[in-house]
Amino acid sequence: MNPNLRLDMLGHEIESARTIGALREICRGMHDTVRATLGSGLDTREIVQMISRLNGAITQRMIAVMELDEGITLPGEAAVLALGSEGREEQTVRTDQDNAIVYADDIPQEKLGTVERFAIRFVEALETIGVPRCPGNIMASNPLWRDSISGWKCRLNHWITAPTKEHVLNFGIFQDLRPLHGNRQLGIQLRDHIRNTVHNTIFFFPNMASHAVRFPSPLTLFGRIRVERSGQHKGEVDIKKAGIFAITVGSSLLALEIGHMGGNTWEKLELLGRTRLISPRDLESISEAFSFLVKLRIRQQLRQMQELPSGVIPSNYVDPLALTASERDQFRQALKGVNTFLGIVRSHYKLDFIST
């Protein structure tokens, strides 16, 4: 079936869904659509945007079903925030939940119970339709990820000014926040607060940059791909650690330095190119590297979903020997692009001159 026709059909099915169970079946069918688009001529960026649009439509319909069928709504004084890859709108086939809730300081006390009820059901419903819970419990159902606007500002201040490992990890997930549902102005206020606070905090950017480059590229000096030597994933490479993580977190950080928040990684890289933080030649290499690694991750996840038992979450690992010779060459070339980006970040923030 033509991918565009399949997308139109999915969109109609989403709009017509009346139950959480129906949305679960649509999510399962979406994987076939993604699989079909991989060979349709669409580039990786377009495929990721398609996945994100479909996931967004499914989530919005899920919230509507929660209200219509269960009477569960979020008060107007609150907002759901999408974090991490969902905040950047660049989800792959299987991405864990990362979300939070912010509410106004003057929200009536009696509505806090309604916020909690919504948060718990929201996370449960996402899991039911096929979005796994976050292993680190970074979800709105966790009371630590629900707070007032003042409470979130205070917590962000703590994360930014006291860069412990946990704080750096939390900020790295939170910095790509996007208002998903509810009072969008609350999310915009948090973005403005982040922009103002980071630029008034000494060593914030070098500390976050160290976090972004903490995984070295698996490409050796001799052009070999370094794989896991033991354990469950012996002989394999973690694609996320191989470069996706560094490019997403690093580009978000560099964009934040020039006052920009929001958008996907490709958009941020283009912005960094326009502002000359990345040269045109390096921009092309890094963007192509990111696109290849993300496409490889999508393909790997789709393959694992066909082969693994139901309920088992696909991993980010790939066996280089399972790739064709051409794909391995592309993999090596992508890792060179990752090394270029790591070098730019290390040089820009003078990380080699900072003791750790």
DSSP labels for 284-307?
A: HHHHHHHHHHHHHHHHHHHHHHHH
Is the separation of the CB atoms in 299 and 348 below 8 Å? no
- From start to end of 16-174, where are the E strands? 78-82, 99-103, 146-148
Domains detected in the chain: 1-72 (no CATH), 73-200 (3.30.460.10), 206-353 (1.20.120)
Give the pTM. Answer: 0.92
Alpha-carbon span 40 to 38, nearest angstrom = 6
Is 167 within 8 Å of 158 (Cβ atoms)? yes
Helix axis angle, 44-70 to 280-307, nearest 10°: 50
Identity of the residue numbered 212: A
- What angle do helix axes 184-198 and 245-257 make, rounded to 10 degrees? 80
Tell me how far apart the terminal alpha carbons of the chain are, to the nearest angstrom: 54
Dihedral (CA of 273, 274, 279, 285) sign: positive
Q: What are phi and psi of 29, to 5 degrees?
A: -70, -25
For residue 78, the cross-strand partners are: 103
pLDDT, tens only, 271-310: 999 999 999 999 999 999 999 999 999 999 888 888 766 6
Alpha-carbon 101 to chain mean position: 17
- Helical axes 165-174 vs 204-212, angle rounded to 10°: 80
79 DSSP β-pair partners: 102, 182
Q: Which two tokens stand for residue 302?
A: 């789709």
Taking 70 as the pLDDT cut, the residues of the chain under it are 1-6, 94, 308-312, 355-356
Q: How far apart are CA 302 and CA 315, in angstroms?
A: 10
The sign of the torsion formed by the CA atoms of 165, 171, 174, 175 equals negative
DSSP H helical ranges for 112-264: 112-129, 149-161, 165-174, 184-198, 204-212, 239, 245-257
Count of other CB atoms within 10 angstroms of residue 46 = 12
Tokens 């979005």: give the residue. 131
- Say how far apart CA 207 and CA 203 lie, in whole Å: 6
**Integer CA distances (angstroms), 166 to 59, 108, 159, in order:** 29, 32, 8
**pLDDT of 338-353, one tens digit each?**
999 999 999 999 998 8
The whole-number pLDDT of residue 312 equals: 67
Smallest Cα–Cα separation from 237: which of 119, 174, 133, 323? Answer: 323
The encoded tokens of residue 120 equal 């718990």
Separation CA 279–CA 47 (nearest Å): 26
Closest C-alpha to 261, from 200, 174, 342: 174
The confidence score (pLDDT) of residue 5 equals 65
- Beta-strand relationship, 178-182 and 78-82: antiparallel
SS3 call for 168: helix
- What letter would DSSP give residue 240? I
